[in-house]
Amino acid sequence: ETDKKQDLPLAGKKLLVTAGPTREELDPVRYFTNHSSGKMGYAIAAAAKKWGAEVTLVSGPTSLQPPSGIKVENVISAREMYDKVLSHYNSQDIVIKCAAVADYTPVSVFENKFKKKNDTWTIELKKTDDILKTLGEKKENQILVGFAAETENLESYAQDKLERKNLDMVIGNDVSKEGSGFGSDTNEIIMIKKDGSKRTLPILSKEKAAEEILEQVLDLMKR
């Protein structure tokens, strides 16, 4: 049993994956979120565990059952995800940022329920800190993989994120396409590595896509 474990491709490696949406509170009854289901990140966590990694899953609110045998850190907001991910970063060999982190959060949270009064309601939002960009800046020996969720110019926008966030690989998916992205059981992805090499995959189950991603992570570790 132990011998077998050591033969697994990610044996002895620590891998952190983030998954799901974040939830940004506005008042005691309301919040902002997005359509992320968490399925892709959970599939990566499950595949990494199967391949022998010591897995930490930092998850926003989802309805999914986490795979067994991994460490799960549940978070709600972008701020909480930032703090949790950063607290684990130094000890990781591989970090895959699959979560759909809120880009903006309310400037202030109402202490009491906001009551209906005017015909319109303007809410002021402020940018959240970019977790992945921060990881790119603090990167030592980690393999850092990010996602790019796009509805247009998939390749060029993904390439731009790869460079701007100092990633080893970016995974682009067109979230406006049927069978790709939010809520779907399948995903159609393009993987771009920092050496410029690209791999476009057909629509795959998120389980299969997760293995394809880890396959490329192994390739990055060999270099």
Residues forming the active site: 34
146 binds ligand CTP (CB under 6 A): yes
The CA distance from 165 to 82, in Å, is: 15
Check binding of 128 to ligand CTP (CB under 6 A): yes
| 78 in contact with ligand CTP (CB under 6 A) | yes
Nearer Cβ to Ca ion (177/199): 177
Question: Stretches 58-66, 86-94, 102-110, 212-220: which one binds Ca ion (CB under 5 A)?
Answer: 102-110
Cα diameter, the chain: 68
Answer yes or no whether residue 132 interacts with ligand CTP by CB under 6 A.
Answer: yes
Does 103 participate in binding Ca ion (rule CB under 5 A)?
A: yes
Residue 78 site contact among Ca ion, ligand CTP, none (CB < 5 to 8 Å, cut-off depends on kind) = ligand CTP
Size of interface with ligand CTP, in residues (CB under 6 A): 14
| Residue 131 binding target from Ca ion, ligand CTP, none, CB below 5 to 8 Å by type | ligand CTP
Considering only residues 97 to 116 of the shown chain, the ones binding ligand CTP according to CB under 6 A are 97, 99, 101, 103
* Strands 189-193 and 169-174, bridge-based pairing: antiparallel
The first and second tokens of residue 176, run together, are 């406006």
Residue 165 marked in a binding site: yes
Bridge partners for 55 per DSSP: 15
45 alpha carbon, distance to own chain's centre: 11
Q: Identify which of residues 47 and 145 has a Cβ nearer to Ca ion in the complex.
A: 145
Contacting residues for 18 by C-beta, under 8 A, at least 6 apart:
41, 57, 58, 59, 60, 81, 85, 96, 97, 98, 99, 101, 131
Phi-psi region of 69 (alpha: psi -120 to 50; beta: other; left: phi over 0): left
Kindly list the residues in this chain that would bind ligand CTP in the complex (CB under 6 A). 78, 97, 99, 101, 103, 128, 130-132, 146-149, 161
